[in-house]
Structure 1
Amino acid sequence: MTHISVKAVRAGLLTALVLLACTAPARAGAGHSAEDSWLMLTVSHGETPSSAEDGTMLRCDPPRGHRHAADACAELTAADGRIADIPARDAVCPMIFAPVTAHAHGTWRGQPVEYTETFSNTCLLTARTGSVFALDTP
């Protein structure tokens, strides 16, 4: 019969715990809390951004606060939070001049975000910014 000392068992357990701690995968986005990715979004008619009180708060990680939050967060993730870098969608938009101004401010993974752009109409806004500013459509 083999006898194992308490000291040997403790050493083995300590070694196992250290190995588990070293091999555990790092948390995705380590160093960033869920509140690090949020944007206050507004769309106003005309060429002047509306006030933040009229906006919609988009939060990611998990997506919420926006009718199309999952899609908007996915598009922002692919563009690393840069709205201007969201790939334009193919769209056939009417040549109607009814300007709308999109404005976003907040943080994306701890980095400040500030975006304002005026589009000729809502069709061009949606084609250029995807789901991020799709605030009124179901």
Structure 2
Amino acid sequence: MTHITTTRAARTGLLAAAALLLTCAVPAQAVAGREPASDWLLLTVTQGDTRPGARPGVPGTQSGATRSALLLCDPPRGHARAARACAELDATDGRIADIPLRETHCPMIYAPVTAHAHGQWRGQPVEYTRTFPNPCVMAARTGAVFAWDTEG
């Protein structure tokens, strides 16, 4: 009798486990079939003058400190102004150079920064590097894309 009860319990347990696996398999397939996020940019900002042969984002090839962030846009995350940065990129089809110049007054202080972006937007590769005379000019020219440590 114990053998029958144990077999019946094992059979019931196996049926329950199979039902659970089938229930969980459907969402797993839906997630697996979903296209990976196509909007991401690895952003770096390096302070200081660029030395000959320097490559943004590569330690030891530029004179100043390098900060970086990974901007993801589905949903927006990666820095404090990710939603705005993603909206600006969406409006320019991922072309950072086409972000409209923001009206602002920047000091005439030479404190160069090099902005670099590498990634993809809507499945297309993005590569952007530009040196600006100071962070204010960079923010005016690139909008919220490289403004990961500021609010507003």
Q: Is the partner of 1:36 in helix, strand or coil?
A: coil
CA distance in 1, matches of 2:134, 2:67: 19
Amino acid at match of 1:135: W
Q: Single out whichever of 86-95 and 33-42 deviates more from structure 2.
A: 33-42
Higher Cα Rg, which structure: 2
Amino acid at match of 1:126: A
Displacement after TM superposition at 1:60 (Å): 0.6
CA distance in 1, matches of 2:35, 2:87: 17
Displacement after TM superposition at 1:84 (Å): 0.1
1:82 corresponds to which residue? 95
CA distance in 2, matches of 1:93, 1:46: 18
Amino acid at match of 1:35: A
2:58 corresponds to which residue? 51
5 Å-filtered alignment, 1:1-138, equals: 33=35, 35-48=37-50, 49-51=56-58, 54-138=67-151
Displacement after TM superposition at 1:65 (Å): 1.4
Superposed CA offset, 1:8-65 (max 9, x none) = xxxxxxxxxxxxxxxxxxxxxxxx9351100000111024423389520000121111
Superposed CA offset, 1:81-118 (max 9, x none) = 00000000001000000000000000001000000000
Displacement after TM superposition at 1:136 (Å): 2.1
Amino acid at match of 2:131: T
Unaligned runs of 5+ in 1: 1-31
CA distance in 2, matches of 1:54, 1:45: 9
CA distance in 2, matches of 1:131, 1:54: 15
Query: What is the Cα-based RMSD across aligned positions, in Å?
Result: 1.9
Q: Is the partner of 1:116 in helix, strand or coil?
A: strand
Superposed CA offset, 1:106-137 (max 9, x none) = 00010000000000000000000000000222
Number of equivalent positions: 107
Q: TM-score, normalised by structure 1?
A: 0.72
Q: TM-score, normalised by structure 2?
A: 0.66
CA distance in 1, matches of 2:103, 2:35: 35
